[in-house]
Structures are given as C-alpha cells and as structure tokens.
Structure 1
Amino acid sequence: MTELENIKGARSQRMPREARRRQLLQAAHQVFVAHGYHRASMDEIAEVALVSKPVLYQHFPGKRELYLALLDSHLADFSRQLDEAIESTTDNRQRVFATINTYYSYIKGESQAYRLIFESDVLSDALIAGRIEKFNNALATSIARVVVQDTDMSEAEGLLAGRALAGLSQVSARYWASTDEEVDQSTAVDLISRLAWRGISQFPKET
C-alpha cells in the first residue's frame, strides 16, 4: 500500500469523539510549537492530523478556539502536577521543595508545552492572558492556604507570598533551563527552595 493510500485510509477511519479531539490537539501542538500562533494555519493542522478541514471545524470553530483548548489541556496537566506536589507532604519545607522541583521538572520534560503557555506570541490576547492569570492565581492560592496554616501571615499576606514563591519558581526555572543545566536540577532546586524557605520560616505561628 502506498503512502498516499495510507493517508487516505487514516482519514477515512471513524474515531470516537474524544479520541479524535486528542488527535487534533496533538497535531495543533506540533504546528503551534513549530510556527507560533500567528503563522499556524488550520490547513496545516488538518494536514498534520490527517483529517479534512470540515472534520477539524466540527470540533473547533476556529484557530483561536483550538489554541484555547490546547492551552487549557496543558494548564490542567501542569496544575495537577503542582497540586500533587503541594499535597504530597504535610511538611511545609518539603512542600516548598516539591513545588519548585515540579516547576523545574515540567520545564525540562515538557518544554514545548511550557513555551506554549508562557512564551507564546499571542499572550496579549485577553482570553489567553486570562487563562494564564487564572492558573497563576490558583497556584498562589494553594500555596497561600498551607503557608497561612503554618505562619502568622494573614490570608492577603499569604497570597502575596504564594505569588512570590510561584514567581521565584518560574523565573529561576526558566533561567536554569536556558543555561543548558550548568547546575544540575537537584542542586538548583535545593538552592532555590532553601532561599524560599528561609523567607517563609521567618513568620512562625505563635502558640
């Protein structure tokens, strides 16, 4: 069977809706990573997914909706990993380490997804910026909840500390990834988590 026949056969196969949606998101991921949002086209996404454009439009009415769906998928996965890190222990010092380590691991292992989330050429879009702000706020709130329980910080102070910790994790991890890992991950995470913990631990809860 020729390659053209294989492609036509793949296009003719019926797939369950969720499986087809995953296939389309995978193709979109590939195209958006390669070209960015503005240079990506629905034609190319359909071609990479081995579907016709009408099939693509049955699932996503436009490129913006497709990008938002892909962004939501990546943010949900990243949020799940961060939530698991926060809930992995009752020791707040270990929580700090686990949360920062998750950031570093995600950037190292899911670098393409991370770039789509935080380094896209369409971050000025209000809906996309709103999705990322919602992610950042949810992470800061999760951090604040456990920090407030273990310190004398108010909820507002805890949220500010949560934002600071999330920002420290993101900025340091992005820089670390850009240096070709001149400092190994465990050393880098230990350094940044000790720096963060020394700040948080200065606010012990009075008993």
Structure 2
Amino acid sequence: MSETIQQNGVGRGARLPRTARRAQLLAAAQDVFAANGYHAAGMDEIAERAGVSKPVLYQHFPGKLELYMALLEKHVDELIRRVNAAMDSTTDNKVRVRNAVGAYFDFVDGESQAFRLVFESDLRGEPLVSDAIDRATTASVDAITATITADAGLDVHRARLLAVGLVGVSQVAARAWLEDNRAMPKDEAIALISNLAWRGIGGGFPLQPHD
C-alpha cells in the first residue's frame, strides 16, 4: 500500500509504501515534539513538517498521544537493543562495562532528540508514557543484572543494585556530557565513566569461573 504525498495542499504524485510513510511521519513528529514539547505540539504542524495532509497523518495515528507513544516506544526499543548488544558483544567484563556506558553515550550523541523524549518527557504523568520510560531503565538493568549474576558470583539482589548503579551513572553522565556541549571527546568521556564503574565492579567482584 502506498500513499500520495501532499505538500501545501498540492499532490505531488510521489508515492511511499506504508512503512516508509510511517517512518517519515515519526521523523517529523520527533522534530516537532523535541522543539515544542508534547503539549505545545500540534498535529497540524506535524503534518506540515512531514509534507502530508492531516487525513494522511490520522490514517497512521488516530491521535497525538498514539503518535507520541509510537515514537517513544521506537526509541525505548533502540536503547534496550544497544544495552543488550553491549552485554552480548564480549565475555570480557571490563569491555562489557565500557560498552554499557558507551551505549548511553552513543544514544545521546546520535539521537539527542530521542534521548530527551525518553528521559526528559513533559508527559511523565501519563501512565503509558511512564510505563514506556520505566521499561527503558528496567530492561537495561535486567540485561546487566543477568550478566553480573552469572559472571561475578553475586546473588540477584546485589547484582541488580550494581546494575542500577551502572545504568544510573551512565544515563546521568551521558546527559551531562550532552548538556555541556560535548566539551570533551566522546571516547574520553566514556573512558572516564567506565573506568570509574569498573574500579567498583571489576575490583570488588572479579570474574568467577563457570562449571
């Protein structure tokens, strides 16, 4: 299924598959939500930014909240994917810690608008939004907890608390680095934070042999 683009009320004859149109609408919505916040963003402006008519926008998303949630869930899934990839990329725990920290810095660096939607949403009071944001943190903590439990010989409660600490410091440090206008190279920032975390995790809880 494809749809004709309309811009300024004039059909241009070009057609996009439904999946491509959805991606285009989400990209336009991200620009508008990031610039204005949820409450000030309008579906008219999003449709205009995407170069489509409002009926086309509503064909894909029945309302502003549904559009916002689709965008938020997309970015939450991407962050979770990055953290899981960091855990699965190696069996070297020091590298895992560095990669976990790096997942947050890479997310911020490449998708700063997305990061603000996930962690600085002005719609945190909406249960659906709160649940999605909590899922981003919980799934990341779960992935790290499973690795620490298996490889550091810790019970799940101690491993989870360490994982919460690693996720927390990574998220806060990445946001601070972005807000400081990337005052130092990203690799140096990742090294600083991952070395801090590794001295606690690696020094106190060395890799345990597996049967």
Tell me if both proteins adopt one fold, taking TM over 0.5 as the criterion: yes
Residues 194, 27 of structure 1: alpha-carbon distance in 2 compared, 3 angstrom cutoff: same
Q: Deviations over 1:81-134 (max 9, x none)?
A: 222222111101100001111211221221111111111211221110100111
Counterpart residue number, 1:157 = 158
Deviation at 1:65, TM superposition (A): 0.4
Counterpart code for 1:188: A
Name the SS of the counterpart of 2:67 in structure 1: helix
The DSSP-based 3-state class of the residue aligned with 1:35 is: helix
Partner of 1:203: 205
Question: Equivalent residue for 1:30?
Answer: 31
Alignment check: 8 A CA contact 2:86 2:96 kept = yes
Which residue of the partner structure matches residue 96 of structure 2? Answer: 95
Q: Gapped runs of 5+ residues in structure 2?
A: 1-5
Gaps of 5+ in 1: none
Structure 1: distance between partners of 2:78 and 2:9: 31
How many residues align structurally?
Answer: 203
User: Aligned partners of 1:49, 1:7: CA distance in 2, in Å?
Assistant: 12
Greater alpha carbon shift after TM alignment, 15-24 vs 132-141: 15-24
Residue-by-residue CA offset, 1:152-197 (whole Å, 9 max, x unaligned): 2111221221111100100111112222233332222112111111
Q: Distance in 2 between matches of 1:55 and 1:7?
A: 12
| Separation (CA, whole Å) in 2 of partners of 1:186 and 1:86 | 18
Q: When the two structures are superposed, what TM-score results if normalisation uses the length of structure 1?
A: 0.90
Q: What letter is aligned with 1:139? A: S
Does residue 47 (structure 1) correspond to residue 54 (structure 2)? The answer is no
The 1:8/1:189 distance shift into structure 2, 3 A limit, reads same
TM-score normalised by structure 2 residue count: 0.88
2:24 and 2:175 map into 1 onto residues whose CA distance is 29
Amino acid at match of 1:123: R
Partner of 2:10: 8
Distance in 1, matches of 2:82 and 2:159, equals 21
Give the SS at the match of 1:9.
strand
Indicate the structure with greater strand content. Answer: 2
Identical counterparts, % of pairs: 46
Q: Would you say 1:75 and 2:76 are equivalent positions?
A: yes
Residue 199 of structure 2 aligns to which amino acid in structure 1? R
Aligned residue for 1:178?
A: 179
The equivalent residue for 1:126 is: 127
3-state SS, counterpart of residue 15 of structure 1: strand
Q: Secondary structure at the match of 1:161?
A: helix
Q: How big is the shift at 1:204?
A: 3.5
CA distance in 2, matches of 1:39, 1:58: 22
Change (3 A) 1:142 1:43: same
User: Which segment drifts farther, 83-92 or 179-188?
Assistant: 179-188
Task: Describe the superposition over 1:35-77 as per-residue Cα deviations: whole angstroms up to 9, x where unpaired.
Answer: 1110001111111112221211111110000000001111122
In 2, the alpha carbon distance for the partners of 1:176 and 1:34 equals 20
Which one-letter code corresponds to 2:169 in the other structure? Answer: L
